Amino acid sequence: MAESDRRLFFALWPPAGVAGRLHEAALAAHAACGGRPMRRETLHVTLAFLGAVAATRVAAAEVAAAAVAARPFILELDRLACWKHNRIVWAGCADVAPPLAGLATNLAQALRDAGFVLETRPFAVHATLVRNANCMKPPPPLAAPIRWPVADFALVESHAESAGSRYEVVRRWLFVLD
Ligand code: ATP
Ligand code: MG
């Protein structure tokens, strides 16, 4: 990564109430499965990961994002699970709401059309709650689904720091109501 590159990704960034519920779930999962709970201010759902972007290419990513049409929707996070391969406890949903699937697909297409290389794995809705978890024990279930009214998406910069990655929301795109 060149010095002027920025590590960027697109994400859904939760409103305070949703971040609070995710944080509670992270602490409960940490109590059951150990590992390292994510800090409240880091909690998010990644939509598209760009990785290192040259400073001169950031505007192209923003133009691509601005062209993605989407309407507000409710994201209902209703399950916690643990991935054994990377020892991550995450919150997700049994069914991906069509507006969210559409947003992820359209954003990825717009970014590819603009020349960005994205990973080809299918989009998996997840908010990472705990890293380095012991996945032999299932995380405790959510007391109730977390209802997240999604009204925008964000371009986020990841800053590597000794305490772990720090994320900075660079810009947000509000969905249109009709
Ligand atoms: P760290 O790498 O310091 O442990 P992190 O993975 O949270 O922390 P980044 O690597 O900057 O920080 O990743 C930012 C976001 O993008 C995270 O949600 C991460 O899961 C996701 N991400 C990282 N790499 C990829 C990738 N290759 N494909 C898809 N998503 C990714
Ligand atoms: Mg990483």
CA atoms within 13 A on the CB side of 159: 8
Q: What six digits make up the tokens of 5?
A: 């590159």
- Give the separation between CA 81 and CA 50, rounded to whole angstroms: 25
Which ligand 1 atom minimizes the distance to the CA of 44? 18
Tally Cβ neighbours within 10 Å of residue 4. Answer: 10
19: three-class secondary structure by DSSP:
helix
Q: What residues are paired with 37 via a beta bridge?
A: 130
Which mutation among 22, 49, 168 tests ligand 1's pocket best, with the greatest number of atoms within 8 A of CB? Answer: 49
Which ligand 1 atom minimizes the distance to the CA of 9? 16
Which ligand 1 atom minimizes the distance to the CA of 42? 7
7 lines ligand 1 (CB under 6 A): yes
| Local confidence band at 163 (pLDDT 50, 70, 90 cut-offs) | confident
Please give the model's pTM, rounded to 2 decimal places: 0.96
17: three-class secondary structure by DSSP:
helix
Q: Work out the percent of the chain whose per-residue pLDDT is above 70.
A: 99
Q: Work out the percent of the chain whose per-residue pLDDT is above 90.
A: 92
